[in-house]
Structure 1
């Protein structure tokens, strides 16, 4: 997905409205479930989409774009229903999913990364819509096809730490960003995988400015003019935090990706 170019005022209003909707939603329904890795297994259902041995979505509602077609995302992507997608705040989280039918499924759980939302999935139960490749990996040898032929199956699942060996957290500056409206996409955040809060600090400043969740794994801030280089501070859904100093240079440009030297795991 791409952000459409629009006036600074219109983008700022969209950012504010989305943040207000999230506040109202959480006030009405309480805090989201399944925050952080969990040793307990929970019941759910699973289907698959795309090609039988395919990688799943192209792009997706989290905004990762072409990243889902290459490692470490490739063939590990998953779409989820509202309970886990949480209006995009569940993007980047990792889950282990295991089929329970011993006649056709192995005891091996497949690990998937949330990159998409499942349109039309039930809102009152946990559902995973996996890539064809990820779904088939739950089968015993030679039963990949028959398992996919079943369509929807019961599964158990649990949150698991995301692991991106050798990768550091990166920040993609979204198309349409300006010194007055800056939008960032977070890539390769391991550990919890999702973002609880995000702040930036301008060049020469000691003040951290709060960014607002926009959509998917995208965050935005309204200011003017914002002066780089920018430091970025992330907090995971469980409160773990790190700060990448001057990670986005003063000469930043939209659609560029800037990689930090940090991640939550060494």
Structure 2
């Protein structure tokens, strides 16, 4: 009798153990699969982040011309004094050119103008100065996140005596009047195009050009937002395809007429904001 009971108990134990292995194996197999991916959200801009800012006073009107992004005359380009030069930690080797930032003064209430902020476009680079420490004059040395503002912009958020001012910044969408501008320069088969007045994300990651007798030709970044290609494109209308850092693309067909010439600027379609 006891042997029969023991055999029955052993059978039940084996059955339960086997079932538990099956259940465990099934559970483990299911749980090892990656969790379902969430629907990708629309590209969002960063939250407020900490940095510092100084200013420069334009002693000469020519100071508003040039810059590491290649926009030339910033007033004629529509940027005015609402611009900023960024330190190496933010400049991204020129990729950030054209991006827009909201900037506000924080912490030092002696110099901040309460409740104010400004919107500026990245148009220049603040080079490191390794002759000074990061805290003692090398404001733009890595890894410092630093903004250099025209005094006209700086004084909208802080009193000029503030010097090296703690700020907060975040990326925002750029709003522009009119369409994207294409300034064509070069000579012969060397074609250089400055892309400016870009709304939305503002910074450009890819450009293509097309003549009426060519396919779409990828352009390379020359510097800042100047893009180039070696191709014979004279005597044919030009179309441009521009891709922003959020992956959105705008195509402008036949923006330059057949008789275009170097030095001219043409206006195409614009990114929606």
TM class by shorter-chain length? 0.7 to 0.9
Matches within 5 A, 1:90-129: 90-100=96-106, 101-105=108-112, 106-120=114-128, 121-129=140-148
Distance between the aligned counterparts of 2:230 and 2:88, measured in 1?
28
In the TM superposition, residue 237 of structure 1 has moved relative to its aligned partner by 0.8
1:106-157 deviation digits (Å, cap 9, x = unpaired): 2222111111111222121211000101111003xxxxxxx21221111110
1:224-259 deviation digits (Å, cap 9, x = unpaired): 466621110000011011100011222121111011
Aligned equivalent of 2:81: 75
Distance between the aligned counterparts of 1:197 and 1:92, measured in 2?
13
Which residues of structure 1 form unaligned runs of 5+? Answer: 1-35, 140-146
1:178-218 deviation digits (Å, cap 9, x = unpaired): 3x11100012110111101001112144x321100000110
Q: Which has the higher Rg, Structure 1 or Structure 2? A: 2
* Cα pair distance change 1:37/1:75, threshold 3 Å: farther
Matches within 5 A, 1:54-65: 57-65=64-72
Aligned equivalent of 1:202: 211
Aligned equivalent of 2:52: 45
1:9-66 deviation digits (Å, cap 9, x = unpaired): xxxxxxxxxxxxxxxxxxxxxxxxxxx75140111111001249x9964321111111
Number of equivalences:
217
Distance between the aligned counterparts of 1:37 and 1:248, measured in 2?
34
Contact 1:57 1:116 in 2 (8 A): no
* Cα pair distance change 1:138/1:169, threshold 3 Å: same
Distance between the aligned counterparts of 1:55 and 1:38, measured in 2?
33
**TM-score normalised per structure 2:** 0.73
Distance between the aligned counterparts of 1:160 and 1:56, measured in 2?
26
Larger RCO (alpha carbons 8 Å, 6+ apart):
1
In the TM superposition, residue 70 of structure 1 has moved relative to its aligned partner by 4.5
**TM-score normalised per structure 1:** 0.75
* Cα pair distance change 1:73/1:211, threshold 3 Å: same
Aligned equivalent of 1:170: 181
Matches within 5 A, 1:14-33: none
Which segment is superposed worse, 69-78 or 186-195? 69-78
Runs of 4+ that moved beyond 3 A: 54-57, 224-227
Distance between the aligned counterparts of 1:242 and 1:71, measured in 2?
20
1:259 to 251, 255, 267: 267
Distance between the aligned counterparts of 1:177 and 1:238, measured in 2?
32
Distance between the aligned counterparts of 2:182 and 2:236, measured in 1?
14
Distance between the aligned counterparts of 1:59 and 1:116, measured in 2?
8
Distance between the aligned counterparts of 2:79 and 2:45, measured in 1?
21
Aligned equivalent of 2:251: 243
* Cα pair distance change 1:86/1:64, threshold 3 Å: same
